[in-house]
Amino acid sequence: MITSEEGARTFVAEYAGLQAMERLDHLVRALLAENREQNLIAKPSEAQIWQRHIADSVQLLRFVPRETWVDGGSTSSVWLDLGTGAGFPGLVIAAIAPKLPVYLVESRRRRVEWLERMAADMTLSECQILGKRLELVEAFDVSVISARAFAPLPKLLKLSSAFSTSSTRFLLPKGRSAAQELMKLPKSARKLFHVEHSLTDPDAGIIVSNNNSN
């Protein structure tokens, strides 16, 4: 369990090379500055930004094949992050795996501008910001779908169905409601997922699809 900022940085460094850590340090500094202008993250979480936001995003890499992200990532996979907001987890994943095509879906204008600025600052040429509602995005097949606080699980699965295949890995941090949300699915759909424990919050869960092995 990750319980401190130092522990969070150590955990992230297991996945991120030196350049990726420099990108993430830049992201953290910029985020704290921008948070004075718009509410990107909750003010109380600023003091635990590495634990609550950076490591919380990076832990999703435990559930994808190593070749997806190791050594800067792979262009053969595609990661779609829904409702990215301030950039979690999608922008963090893109910073660690700059060769991985990462698509960030976010419809709020000021957040779109923030994401575009950060992607440019960190020279993430494979990271694309889709500044519109998911319903308006033209469908394409993806390898990974993540969503941190996008929509209730049934709605999320319905909206993302046009982008998923039988091999798409879903990574859905759901906080304390993970098990409850999973139980709301029909039994036939429920058996396609399971809940993993979060490393950053002992009470939180991550809904993960049962396909592929990492």
The CATH number that applies at residue 38 is 3.40.50.150
Structural domain contains residue 147: yes
The tens place of each residue's pLDDT in the chain, 214 residues long, gives 999 999 999 999 999 999 999 999 999 999 999 999 999 999 999 999 999 999 999 999 999 999 999 999 999 999 999 999 999 999 999 999 999 999 999 999 999 999 999 999 999 999 999 999 999 999 999 999 999 989 999 999 999 999 999 999 999 999 999 999 999 999 999 999 999 999 999 999 999 999 754 4
Q: What phi and psi values does residue 126 have, to the nearest 5 degrees?
A: -90, 0
171 contacts 145 by C-beta, under 8 angstroms: yes
Structural domain contains residue 214: no
Per the structure, the count of domains in the chain is: 1
Structural domain contains residue 72: yes
Domain span holding position 78: 5-209
CA distances from 21 to 11, 59, 177, 188 (A): 11, 15, 31, 41
Q: Which two tokens stand for residue 195?
A: 């809940």
Structural domain contains residue 135: yes
Torsion sign, CA atoms 22, 23, 26, 31: negative
Write the pLDDT tens digit of every residue in 101-159: 999 999 999 999 999 999 999 999 999 999 999 999 999 999 999 999 899 999 999 99
Q: Which two tokens stand for residue 25?
A: 């340090």
Q: Which two tokens stand for residue 177?
A: 């409601």
